[in-house]
Amino acid sequence: AKPQTSVKLVLLGEAAVGKSSLVLRFVSNEFQEHKEPTIGAAFLTQKCQLPNRTIKFEIWDTAGQERFASLAPMYYRNAQAAVVVYDVTKPASFVKARHWVSELHAQASPDIVIALVGNKVDLASDDNGPRVATAEGQALADDEGLLFLETSAKTGSNVQEVFTALANKLPEP
Ligand code: GDP
Ligand code: MG
């Protein structure tokens, strides 16, 4: 059998950007149009098969509401991987994502592997108002050494790829 490694992963980002929906898509390949907000944090696990090893992600899906933000350190403290999510149709959520990235770099484990994810690309179109440009997300990721992908939890686009990319970037034990 292939060796299996358990990896603690935390999701961070403003409320309603689609954190829980990305997890639901990754874990169950489902989408809910009216997903009930997360209270505090939810815990799920899902395996990612690599050619030479299996990564078992232990996923902490946090609530983005301000009143829970003070709890975040509890979830990212021992995390080996993080997904920082923003909504490509909500520029304010990208500002918030920048803050989460700084906070992770200041407070989390120095070897944490971080993916920056611009979600809801299915909604991005000219008539939907301002969109966070792909180049803006890519620039932040390049500056900060992050993986970067634009996703849709609704269509499933690039969701599996986020977790596979993280798994591939994790140091071999
Ligand atoms: P969270 O607060 O970050 O966990 O966000 P949720 O996963 O609860 O999603 C908030 C809302 O956005 C829900 O109504 C979801 O159905 C919707 N949503 C999440 N991801 C997407 C997406 O990729 N595309 C679209 N169109 N809606 C999404
Ligand atoms: Mg949620």
Q: Give the pLDDT confidence score for residue 70 in this predicted structure.
A: 74
pLDDT, one tens digit per residue, over 103-148 is 999 999 999 999 999 999 999 886 777 899 999 999 999 999 999 9
Give me the pLDDT at residue 38, please: 81
Residue 37 main-chain phi, psi, to 5 deg = -60, 145
Q: Which atom of ligand 1 is nearest to the CA of 32?
A: 16
Residue 16 is given by DSSP the state T
> Which pLDDT does position 4 carry in this prediction?
95
- What are the two backbone dihedrals, phi and then psi, of residue 10, each rounded to the nearest 5 degrees? -120, 140
Q: What's the gap in Å between 23 CA and the centre of ligand 2?
A: 9
Question: DSSP state, 131?
Answer: -
- Per-residue pLDDT tens over the stretch 121-132: 999 886 777 899
Predicted pLDDT of residue 75: 86
Is-above-0.90 flag for pTM? yes
User: What H or E segment, with its residue span, contains residue 56?
Assistant: strand 54-62
> How is residue 164 written in tokens?
């596979």
Residue 97 has pLDDT above 80, yes or no: yes
pLDDT tens for 29-71 read: 999 998 888 887 889 999 999 999 999 999 999 886 666 677 7
Which ligand sits nearest to residue 14's alpha carbon?
1
Complex ipTM value: 0.99
The more confidently predicted of residues 22 and 1 is: 22
- Looking at ligand 1, which residue's alpha carbon is closest to its atom 16? 33
